[in-house]
Structure 1
Amino acid sequence: MGQIATRAGAREDGSNGAAGEAEPLPQDNASLLHRIEQFLFMEARLQDTHAYDEWEALWTDDATYWVPANGHDIDPETQMSIIYDNRSRIGVRIGQLKTGRRHTQTPPSNLARIISNVELVERSGDEVAVRANAFIYEDNLRGETMWAARNEYRLRFVDGEIKMVRKKVGLVNNHKPIYTLSFLV
């Protein structure tokens, strides 16, 4: 894999060069990519198996979970989004899913996700920007639905673990009516 962009002043290895500074990111891009892929695969499994508490634990306190509507480059502060959650709202969403009173999720959808085309985009200190494609198969009482998305992530290494700072799920068909999206996408 070729070199990825880094912020001004940062070395290719992700550190800023300060003496004695701990290096939270793997030194080489191949190791970093492998670790991030494993994280994204785990996140997909947690979503597919409705492991809500474990999925919620993947987020930082300053997180944003965003699913745009009517295009991919909209301003979520001024235009409608399917989901635009801060960290507090992510917790509320998880609490609602756990009640069992989401009628479109009674019984919960059977889900299977494929994550592919994972790309490292940028390193900045202890954060990495990543892109990946997702294909989600949903089976429930209404029938079968297939969802495709181009995801963008901002991941942060915190005490040696990867956490999500930002996740943008760009549904390929977000310009069309979406009848229900009541699972973790």
Structure 2
Amino acid sequence: MDHKGSADLLLRVTEFLYREALYQDDHRYDDWEALWTDDGVYWIPANGDDIDPEQQMSIVYDNRSRIALRIRQLHTGKRHAQAPRSRVRRVVSNIQIGETGERGVQVFCNSLVFESALRADTLWSARTEYWLREVGNDFRMSRKNVFLTNNDQALFTLAFLI
């Protein structure tokens, strides 16, 4: 890929990540859910980053149907950890393109999420890995792995989408 092509890909990926962050921050869960492929997997490991989610506990390890169920649950208004719902804002940075190929585009970024909730204000820091597939003129997430900086410690309930 030439340099111009790389710059164009990075711009398109960056715009996608910013849109995803906006949907999450504004609690636009249906729009966020539409960003996933049918075989998407959403993973937030617990107790370190180098674990097998099939063998060890994770904070979240959702396939596509579980992602849809999580969204439906948020719509019920019965997620008491989110009553009232947290106010959140994300900063996404250090966006890097990894591998590209049949699997799609591998993307890495850092994020900082400020959450303001009744219990306290909390900062969540993470390194996130995405696998994005091109669908038409846009991307869809086939995998999102969120490696929280402090995932080896006791954490408050994550009742919002990180």
Q: Deviations over 1:27-85 (max 9, x none)?
A: 70000000100100010010011000000000000000000000111000000000000
Give identity over the alignment, percent: 53
Aligned equivalent of 2:27, options 32, 50, 54: 50
Q: Does 2:5 align with 1:32?
A: no
Q: May I ask how many residue pairs the two structures share in their alignment? A: 161
Normalised TM-score (structure 2):
0.97
Contact 1:126 1:157 in 2 (8 A): no
- The structure 1 segments of at least 4 consecutive aligned residues displaced by more than 2 Å after TM superposition are none
Separation in 1, partners of 2:137, 2:89 = 28
* Equivalent runs, 1:41-80 vs 2, <5 Å: 41-80=18-57
Show structure 1 runs of 5+ residues with no match.
1-11, 14-26
3-state secondary structure, aligned to 2:54: coil
Separation in 2, partners of 1:179, 1:30 = 38
Contact 2:131 2:144 in 1 (8 A): yes
The amino acid across from 1:139 in the alignment is S
Show structure 2 runs of 5+ residues with no match.
none
Separation in 1, partners of 2:9, 2:43 = 24
Contact 2:89 2:115 in 1 (8 A): yes
Separation in 1, partners of 2:156, 2:34 = 28
Aligned equivalent of 2:93, options 101, 116, 120: 116
The amino acid across from 1:75 in the alignment is D
CA positional deviation for 1:126: 6.7
3-state secondary structure, aligned to 1:114: strand
Structure possessing the higher radius of gyration over alpha carbons: 1
Normalised TM-score (structure 1):
0.85
Aligned equivalent of 2:67, options 90, 101, 119: 90
> RMSD of aligned C-alpha atoms?
1.1
The amino acid across from 2:15 in the alignment is Q
| Structure with more of its chain in helix, by fraction | 2
Match of 1:4 in 2: none
Contact 2:103 2:131 in 1 (8 A): no
